[in-house]
Amino acid sequence: MYFEKTTFAGAIQPFNVNPSFQIMSGLPENALRFPTCKRVEAWNGYHCMNENLAILTFESLDEDKLTRILSPITITGLNNSAQNTINTFMDHGWDGFYTSMKRLSRFTTIIEGGSGNVYDINYKSTPPKKQKFTIRSNTTSAVIRIKYTKAGAYIIKDVNGNQINANGWDNTI
């Protein structure tokens, strides 16, 4: 959760009055990857000072997106200590007394963007043919790489359906 231009009022002031900060859940596996995050026991969470933190959300747009299990998926940072293994969201549909066995193949993780930050997404299954990626941040970006099991030509499009031209090949990554 990102807070920007925050103001404080009242007699009790927070321990850090910086107007821009992030709050992250209390799972050490997530927060300890980022050196600016400090544990706050009373919150069962972390206070972070890093404008490059972003939420990466990606999902399958294939026809079988509600029935095919893609997880677990591992996201690994190539130039930082980030590694996160994630699963599909819970099935909340019901058919009488039983779950519907349908769940959207959507995944969310926290990444640290910034110049040169590269993340590999490794599927334990075959990656979807059609996917949508969103990085929720106003201040940062990152390179996302996916290893496809079949060679082929892939087209990247923006949210408006416009094709994004390929970058030149970078052998240093």
pLDDT average, residue stretch 156-169: 82
Cβ(103)–Cβ(89) below 8 Å: yes
Residue 57 confidence (pLDDT): 93
The residue with tokens 């996917």 is 131
The pLDDT of 154-158, averaged and rounded, is 81
pLDDT at 79 exceeding the cut of 70: yes
What would the mean pLDDT of 152-168 be, rounded to a whole number? 81
How buried is 73 (Cβ within 10 angstroms: 0-12 exposed, 13-18 middle, 19+ buried)? Answer: buried
Other Cβ atoms closer than 10 A to 48: 21
Q: Per-residue pLDDT for 17 more than 80? A: no
Tokens describing residue 167 = 């970058």
- Distance CA(123)–CA(135), nearest Å, equals 19
- State the Cα torsion 71-72-73-76 to the nearest 10°: 170
What is residue 148's predicted lDDT score, i.e. its pLDDT?
A: 81
> What is the structure's pLDDT at 15?
67
Any idea what DSSP says for residue 145? E
* Predicted local distance difference test score (pLDDT) of residue 120: 93
Q: What's the CA gap between 97 and 145, in Å, rounded?
A: 41
Per domain, the residue ranges of the chain are: 2-7+15-48, 53-146
**pLDDT digit string, tens, across residues 56-69:** 999 999 999 888 88
pLDDT tens for residues 80-96? Answer: 777 888 888 777 777 77
Q: Please state the pTM of the whole predicted model.
A: 0.78
State pLDDT tens for residues 97-143.
Answer: 777 777 888 899 888 888 888 999 999 888 998 999 998 887 888 88
Q: What is the pLDDT of residue 94?
A: 74
Spatial strand order of the sheet with 131-136 comes to 106-112, 53-60, 131-136
For the sheet containing 73-77, what is the strand order?
Answer: 83-86, 73-77, 118-123, 143-146
**Res 132: pLDDT:** 92
Q: Which of 146, 171, 167 is nearest to 60 (CA)?
A: 146
pLDDT at 173: 65
